[in-house]
A and B are shown apart, each in its own frame.
Chain A
Amino acid sequence: MLIDLNDKPEQLILEADVCIAGAGAAGITIAIELAKANINVILLEGGGKTYTDESQDLYKGGSNSLFYPKLDSSRLRYLGGTTNHWEGSCRTLSKIDFEKRDWVPNSGWPITKSELDPFYKRAHNYCELGVYDYSIEYWEKHSHLKRLITAESSFETHVNQSSPPTRFGQKYLPYLTNSKNVTLVLNANVTNINESKPIGKISGFTIKNHQNKEYTATADNYIIAMGGLENSRILLLSREASENGLGNENDMLGRYYMDHPGVKMAAVVPTKNWAKSVVMGENLKNQPPRGVAWTLELSEKTLREKKLCNARIAMAERNKLFLSKGVESVHQLKKAYGENIDIDSYFEHIENIIYDWDLVAESIGRKEFNTYYSERAKEFGGYLANAMTEQHPDYNNRITLSDKKDKLGLNKIKLHWKVTNQDKENIKKVVDELAHELSRLRLARVRSLVAEDETDRIFEELLSYGYHHMGGTRMSDDPKNGVVDSQLKIHNRKNIYVAGSSVFPTGGHVTPTLTIVALAIRLADHLIKEKGKS
């Protein structure tokens, strides 16, 4: 059944076995799994079937970082949520990502990779992926992929599969509207989680349409699946019975927020040993997945020995202009001039500019006069090694509430996030390892882009982001270390769960959607079992 709250129904009774706030990848997956098990579900979506400014504006918020993407542009607020603009790359987290690693403070999931494996496999169907196999050995046989490193190395080659990408809203709307067990409610903004003292049991969700008309939804169990940032926000806002927010008895709510900083880490210039047969990615026409591509990742052994956080490295072809050291030096000197910074490698920069004078001229010409003249600029220059890196979970990277309010009267988010020095050091070590391995194997010469002088630019204006909002309601066995337990139930509560990437204790080095869906299926299974018991 489909209800639109913007139609302002006068009388509306919303009651079910389970009430889910948020119809993105997690919420939709749980709703379908529960409905198939004959459990009644109310699925609340803050937006409509398609994008509207009215709904999207409610995602506006602030951040302490000048460079972090705006909170209303890095996610979408309508049916299907952020899957409406995801790129579709999928891979499982590695076994080591779930472990408590001595060299990564606050790491460790209360579940293991092998516990999640069967759910990852089922998640493949939801994300329209292929065979549950991410090994290069398999895909070298079943596609045209060919790895770069064949010798023994500290780097391994792993494959990422591409979803079409599945737009969860469009794809699963027919099922949701036709199922007798699902009531999909659009333009239903959850504004409060109702709980009275003594804490422990949730009695309902307060919801509002976009005209501020209020309704209530009640159920036996409640699930918050509103997205990596909003999950923390709604819990922080629900303070009737808990002064600091629901589930925040240990001041852990909103903390350990993480993203995947994307670092342009090195220019890789192939030698003659770089085999012509190397194929990094391929679109597959007649079968799922839509495509496959390999990335380089540090082996588990190397991560342990060198005490590193995880990272995956993809390489993209670039022309000489893009990889020009001279052009980079111009940027460095411009920055030094603008900010009156004394730099040590001044002579080297001058030399780089002289050596690459034609590329520097091309760069200035393109920017200032929109002219193109240098043929050399278009020539193949090498590969840009981009890394998606795991962040160290940091206590001070957190989601808080600002004093500013949205049009529903709810405090907006104020995000405190930065790439820590530990993160930067980790990235430098990964670059070091990559440069040594490719040089040792005589496959390429490598120019690090995270050398001292360039660090500021690399970690500020040149930094890219996964738009992967993780942490804030992290999973933990001990309530002192997190917000939800291993079954995703909020600590010290009987009937409220959290789904989505906000429960990740660490972010790993891969895109989170597949893990979000796998955890959602696992949560649905848990609720089905609980229902069976009762």
Chain B
Amino acid sequence: MNNLIRRKFLKAMLILPVSALLSKRVYAGQLNHIVNKNEAKKLLQKAIPEEMRHELKRLTQARILKQKTIESTNSWWTSFITNQHANEANIAQLIEKEIQKDFSQKRTEFTNGWLISDTEVKLSQLVRYYS
């Protein structure tokens, strides 16, 4: 293995778990102030099918989330739930509509090759923090 690869590998092995732990502890606390954790988790489970949740989680696992991102994601989630009068019965449909709108309007990005919508990115961030 050349030096470049070795350096990067060591960095990955050391930094990823540490940053993941830290970020989870620090930011998870702040999330609780924004939305009710249990409520959000329940709605998320309804919003995203199990197989998709796993895929979304994987897609954004490598991201190191910034505090600002989490705040804005949670504020989006809160306002989405409030404005759309979301409940357990209609949340999956509402989210589906929102994702479709994203693809139509190209509010998307390629992550690790996969085309994902902005809504999916936000949801995956939430899934990661509520899991």
CB distance from A40 to the nearest CB of B (A): 61
- Interface status of A348 (Cβ within 8 A of chain B): yes
Q: How many A-B residue pairs lie within 8 Å, measured between CB atoms?
A: 61
Output the nearest chain B residue to A355 by Cβ-Cβ distance. B58
- Interface status of A293 (Cβ within 8 A of chain B): no
**A325-B5 in contact (CB<8A):** no
Q: Which residues of B contact A287 (CB under 8 A)?
A: none
Stretch of B26-34, B40-48, B71-79, B112-120 contacting A (4+ beta carbons < 8 Å): B112-120
Assuming the contacts A436-B115, A440-B100, asked whether A347 and B16 have C-beta atoms less than 8 A apart, the reply is yes
Stretch of A61-69, A225-233, A445-453 contacting B (4+ beta carbons < 8 Å): A445-453
User: Chain B: how many interface residues by the 8 Å CB criterion?
Assistant: 24
What's the Cα separation between A336 and B9 when bound, in Å? 13
CB distance from B28 to the nearest CB of A (A): 22
- Interface status of A337 (Cβ within 8 A of chain B): yes
CB distance from A116 to the nearest CB of B (A): 37
Q: Which residues of A contact B106 (CB under 8 A)?
A: 436
Output the nearest chain B residue to A347 by Cβ-Cβ distance. B62
0 or 1 for each of A330-367: is its CB under 8 Å from B? (1 = yes): 00010011001010011110111001000000000000
Output the nearest chain A residue to B2 by Cβ-Cβ distance. A337
User: Chain A: how many interface residues by the 8 Å CB criterion?
Assistant: 28
- Interface status of B103 (Cβ within 8 A of chain A): yes
Q: List 27 A-B contacts (CB under 8 A).
A: A325-B112, A337-B2, A340-B2, A340-B4, A345-B112, A347-B12, A347-B16, A348-B62, A350-B12, A351-B112, A432-B115, A435-B110, A436-B103, A436-B108, A439-B103, A439-B108, A440-B104, A442-B96, A442-B100, A445-B114, A445-B115, A446-B114, A446-B115, A447-B115, A448-B113, A448-B115, A451-B110
What's the Cα separation between A346 and B4 when bound, in Å? 11
Output the nearest chain B residue to A447 by Cβ-Cβ distance. B113
**Interface majority SS (helix, strand, loop, mixed), chain A:** helix
Q: A336-B5, A440-B103, A451-B110 are in contact. List 16 more A-B contacts (CB 8 A).
A: A333-B5, A337-B2, A340-B4, A346-B8, A347-B62, A348-B112, A350-B9, A352-B112, A355-B58, A435-B110, A436-B115, A439-B103, A439-B115, A442-B96, A447-B112, A448-B114
Assuming the contacts A435-B115, A439-B115, A439-B117, asked whether A448 and B5 have C-beta atoms less than 8 A apart, the reply is no
Q: Mark out the residues of chain A between 35 and 64 whose CB falls within 8 Å of any chain B CB in the assembled complex.
A: none
- Interface status of B14 (Cβ within 8 A of chain A): no
CB distance from B65 to the nearest CB of A (A): 14
CB distance from A79 to the nearest CB of B (A): 47
- Interface status of B90 (Cβ within 8 A of chain A): no
What's the Cα separation between A346 and B16 when bound, in Å? 12
Q: Which residues of A contact B89 (CB under 8 A)?
A: none
Assuming the contacts A333-B5, A336-B5, A436-B103, asked whether A447 and B114 have C-beta atoms less than 8 A apart, the reply is yes
Assuming the contacts A345-B112, A440-B100, asked whether A351 and B62 have C-beta atoms less than 8 A apart, the reply is yes
